[in-house]
Amino acid sequence: MTAKQTFINYLAPADIKVNGSRPWDIQVYNPKFYTRVLAGGSLALGESYIDGWWDCRALDQFFYRLLKARLDTKVKDWKQIFHVIKAKILNLQSKSRAYEVGKRHYDIGNDLYKNMLDKRMVYSCGYWKDAKTLDKAQEAKLDLICKKLKLKKGMKVLDIGCGWGSLAKYAAEKYKVKVVGVTVSKEQVKLARELCKGLPIEIRLQDYRKINEQFDRIVSVGMFEHVGYKNYKTYVKVVNRCLKPNRLFLLHTIGRNTSSTTADPWISKYIFPNSVLPSAKQIAAASERMLVLEDWYSFGPDYDKTLMAWHNNFVKNWHKLNYDQRFYRMWKYYLLACAGSFRARSTQVWQVVFSKNGVKEGYRSIR
């Protein structure tokens, strides 16, 4: 059987055709594509797309069908096995590597994120329950977090992975709290300090492991994905050390359905170096004996909508940006592949509320 026919057979359970006419069908332009992907798996699939060897009118629909049919579990290559072995031997998210994702992803240009995100520059899943626009969805998410944390005037809040300060600014303005935000991105620090000027907010370029002071509330949104499975317990120890007794911690993170030690090889190489998504089991295990689980909320489908909105902004504002065509294809692939993943429910979004020592009167879930 030829490599082409093998690949065609591989896609058949997902009802994806090669050179078909539907939006999710792929168009192959280089005959070497088939052997390259069969040998190189997901990494080769993404790299060959960047190289222009194939295309698809609706990448999000392509990945939705591929992942819904669980075809991602059918092809494994030696490079993926190497990533697993490497992750087990090394601590890819050690202190010495902590700032790598900041340099390679978040520092690539604030202009990109200004033109892709909402007006508050929130780089995490929006909350679309009652929202019709990206701006409203992100504002609703920020307010949901503040309400879940039961913020009160004068509280001191730690935001681990504060981004461009969107949550810190919202909480300080709307709930009159003081905020310390930490990030590993120099560009985020620069812009966050500018956006939060005049408010009781301190933005630091700091690894979470170096924080050693007490707070009334701790929150972390879209940062736990960079912690790494070898450091989950260390992360929770930091939260436990810095959280005052009987206070609340909210963890907002993307999650996997199964436990793993590595991320997708293409995502690791081109988008988020040294990242890995946690499973519910890994989060629960890391928090044992230190924190009390009060509430767990899953709303992964909302990230599909968020990513599609980011993609629309990215395409609409592309002419304002100074990046090359390869970056355009890489970023489209990233946004739409992730949208398809959330649509297929291969990945999730969780907001988990913990307390230190438990909430005496009980915690009431807020949706």
* Residues carrying an active site annotation: 338
Q: Is 59 exposed, middle or buried (0-12, 13-18, 19+ CB in 10 A)?
A: buried
Evaluate whether 115 touches 134 at the Cβ level (below 8 Å): no
Please name the residue that has the structure tokens 């509280």: 155
Residues, the chain: 367
**166-169 contacts at long range (C-beta below 8 A, 24 or more positions apart):** 166/120, 166/121, 166/122, 166/138, 166/142, 166/195, 167/122, 167/142, 167/219, 167/221, 168/192, 168/196, 168/199, 168/201, 168/203, 169/120, 169/195, 169/196, 169/199, 169/201
Evaluate whether 259 touches 279 at the Cβ level (below 8 Å): yes
| Widest pairwise Cα distance in the chain | 70
